[in-house]
Amino acid sequence: MNKLLGPALTLPAVTFIAVGFVLPVLILLSEAVTVNGAFSLSPLIGFFRDPGSVEVFWRTIRLSGLVTLTSAVVGYATALAIVDSSPSARGRLIGTLILPLMVSPVARTYAWVVVLGRTGLVNLVVVGLGLSPEPLRLLFTETAVFIGLVQLLLPLMVLSLVSALENIPADVVPAARVLGAGWFTTFFKVTLPLTREGLVIGGTLVFTGALTAYITPAILGGSKVLMLETLLYQRIRVTNDIAAAGVIAIILVVLSITANVLLKRVAGGRSQ
Amino acid sequence: MMPRWLRWAILALVMIFLIGPFFVIAAAALHGGETLAFPPKDLTLKWVWKVFEVESFRASFGLSILLAIGGTALALVLGVPAAYALDRFRPKGSEAIRLMVTAPIIVPGIIVGLALLRYLVIPVDLPMIAALFVAHTALLIPYAVRVVSASLANLRVDIEEAAVLLGCSRIGAFVRVTLPNIKSGIFAAFILGFVTSFNQVPISLFLAGPGVSTLPIDMLWFMEFTYDPSVAALSALLALMSMAVVLVAERLLGFSRYV
């Protein structure tokens, strides 16, 4: 009986996702490689021949990479500081990291409009201290998008590094120190290799998060600093160019799946 | 071990960076002037009241709540049996099934919304609300399966077998033995699903139009032509609401274990 019951119980969920999700997405992706119903690579070639699109493509990759790198460095320092704290403080700090993750990204991102705007906090300080005669233009720049993305995604990195650090056997680091390794040697030879998995998981979450972010570039970048998702939105809403949308969709899906497959390789490699 | 001062400095800076903007936005919401400013002058609550007076916010808030509750409930109805079957029976093609039920997390939401609009709403003449409901449910199934799977993995199989040996039916054993034991997992999945759906933007972007919109989408449109502090007031209210939900969930069942 179990032979039938197993598939039967998964059938509703699988059917729902197949019809309401996978099928429409596959049709959309096929738009990128068809012209008038016949196979053609011209939409793909067209996208990469258009300098504007290529610029957005590289900006998305560059910003996502930069956000991931920054999150890794800042996240590591934060995770080490959290793991060093007392157990009760640790719980509270982790709670504080989860809290912003649960708040609407629109609200979180809009906060930066207030901080970075012409009459915002940063300009108040800059003009007040006489560092600049007039308010700096901070909104609708890559810097603003970068700051917004780091704030949005940093908690994911810290959380996965904290759990990786907690899994290191308690006496490994003291042992290295007793045997004469300095702080840097211990970190690079012991701690870092033992938490590689957590770093990769956090890195994948942050990278794909930045890659597929819509709200942050939409609010803080506007039409001046487009990323792939905001470009896709524009292509549909302004020119209704479904082929271009299909191409961007393929790029996004391929990049996300690649990142996730790499993640599974690295994360699964050790536990199995 | 890092020096105490360094630890405190790092934690203080990071927490200010992560949490600080919320205080800034709450303060900006109270500004008495007509534009966004920080620090606020002539404190007032008028922008907070304005939020409640905007007709479209009331409608979109209602739709968002409806989608979040309905979508999560349906995702659980579909996801719990799937998680149970994957954990207990390991049917043929488990890997493929698992891949299928986690696919909605991997594919960027904006693509899903556009695909549903083009190939479901337009050809079948499906109402937008139904499409939003399908999209949100599909997105939430992976969360339901993952969180419930984690609870099931921590539950011993033999208590259910014992119930069956003692004369309980299979379904009876599931309802009376397994379900009560995974209920905090299901509750956590519900909270996680609710918050995920309520805050979701990309998937709803193309499925919302005049008259049918979720709250975050409505906020995005509103922002484009509003420069007064009412958007800040709404953001602050939303932040407070989500934080309240999370704090209550944390108190009740240690929610952070499941995230």
Q: Does a structural domain hold residue A45?
A: no
Q: Using alpha carbons only, give the angle B19, B20, B26 rounded to the nearest 5 degrees.
A: 100
- Say which residues have a Cβ less than 8 Å from residue B93's Cβ, sequence separation at least 6: A7
Q: What is the pLDDT of residue A70?
A: 97
- Say which residues have a Cβ less than 8 Å from residue A20's Cβ, sequence separation at least 6: B116, B120, B134, B135, B137, B138
| Cis geometry, peptide bond prior to residue A155 (ω within 30 degrees of 0) | no
Q: CA-CA distance, A84 to A89, in Å (whole number)?
A: 10
Q: CA-CA distance, B194 to A45, in Å (whole number)?
A: 41
Q: What is the pLDDT of residue B153?
A: 86
CB contact under 8 A, A249 and B112: no
Question: Please, what's the b/e burial string for A89-104 (b: 16 or more CB within 10 A of its CB; e: otherwise)?
Answer: eeeebbebbebbbbbb
B6 in A contact zone (CB under 8 Å): yes
Q: CA-CA distance, B113 to A237, in Å (whole number)?
A: 13
Say whether the ipTM exceeds 0.90. Answer: no
Q: Which residues of B touch A74 (CB under 8 A)?
A: 14
- Say which residues have a Cβ less than 8 Å from residue B133's Cβ, sequence separation at least 6: B67, B70, B71, B74
**Interval A20-49: pLDDT, tens:** 899 999 999 998 888 888 888 888 999 999
> SS3 of B209, please?
strand
Supply the DSSP string of A86-130, one letter for each residue: -HHHHHHHHHHHHHHHTS-HHHHHHHHHHHHSTTSHHHHHHHHTT
Q: What is the pLDDT of residue A246?
A: 92
> SS3 of A1, please?
coil
Q: Does a structural domain hold residue A24?
A: no
- Give yes or no for residue A269 having a pLDDT over 60: no
Q: Does a structural domain hold residue A37?
A: no
CA of B59: how far to CAs of A218, B194, B214, B224, in Å? 23, 18, 8, 19
Q: What is the pLDDT of residue B255?
A: 64
Q: Does a structural domain hold residue A211?
A: yes
CA B43 to chain centre: 33
What residues make up the domain containing A141? 50-271
CB contact under 8 A, B223 and A110: yes
Averaged pLDDT of chain B: 88
Q: CA-CA distance, A198 to A164, in Å (whole number)?
A: 5
- Amino acid identity at A190: V
Q: What is the pLDDT of residue A169?
A: 86
CB B230 within 8 A of CB B52: no
Residues paired with B212 in a beta bridge: B209
Q: CATH code at A87?
A: 1.10.3720.10
Q: What is the pLDDT of residue A263?
A: 73
The number of distinct structural domains making up chain A is 1
> SS3 of B247, please?
helix
CB contact under 8 A, A114 and B38: yes
Q: What is the pLDDT of residue A271?
A: 41
CB B168 within 8 A of CB B99: no
Q: Is the dihedral of CA A175, A180, A182, A184 positive or negative?
A: negative
Q: Does a structural domain hold residue A238?
A: yes
Our CA-based measurement puts residue B251 at a distance from the nearest CA of chain A, in whole angstroms, of 11
Q: What is the pLDDT of residue A247?
A: 94
pTM (2 decimals)? Answer: 0.90
Our CA-based measurement puts residue B89 at a distance from the nearest CA of chain A, in whole angstroms, of 5
Alpha helices (runs of H) in chain B, residue ranges in sequence order:
4-28, 46-53, 55-88, 94-106, 109-116, 122-124, 128-153, 158-165, 170-173, 179-181, 183-199, 215-225, 230-253
Q: pLDDT tens digits, chain B, 259 residues: what are they?
A: 678 899 999 999 999 999 988 888 888 888 887 877 777 888 888 888 888 888 889 999 999 999 999 999 999 999 999 999 988 888 778 888 888 888 888 889 999 999 999 998 989 888 999 999 999 999 999 999 988 998 888 888 888 888 888 988 888 888 888 888 898 889 989 999 999 999 999 999 999 877 889 999 999 988 888 878 888 899 999 888 888 888 888 787 766 666 6
How do beta strands A38-39 and A34-35 pair? antiparallel
Q: Does a structural domain hold residue A20?
A: no
Q: What is the pLDDT of residue A270?
A: 47
Question: Please, what's the b/e burial string for B36-54 (b: 16 or more CB within 10 A of its CB; e: otherwise)?
Answer: bbbebeeeeeebbebbeeb
Q: Does a structural domain hold residue A14?
A: no
Searching chain A, which residue's CA lies closest to the CA of residue B10? A78
**Interval A92-139: pLDDT, tens:** 898 888 888 888 999 999 989 888 988 788 888 888 888 888 888 889
CB contact under 8 A, B234 and A99: no
Retrieve residue A3's tokens. 């032979």
B29 in A contact zone (CB under 8 Å): no
Q: CA-CA distance, B44 to A250, in Å (whole number)?
A: 49
Our CA-based measurement puts residue A15 at a distance from the nearest CA of chain B, in whole angstroms, of 10
Give the residue with greater pLDDT, A266 vs A86: A86
Q: Does a structural domain hold residue A2?
A: no
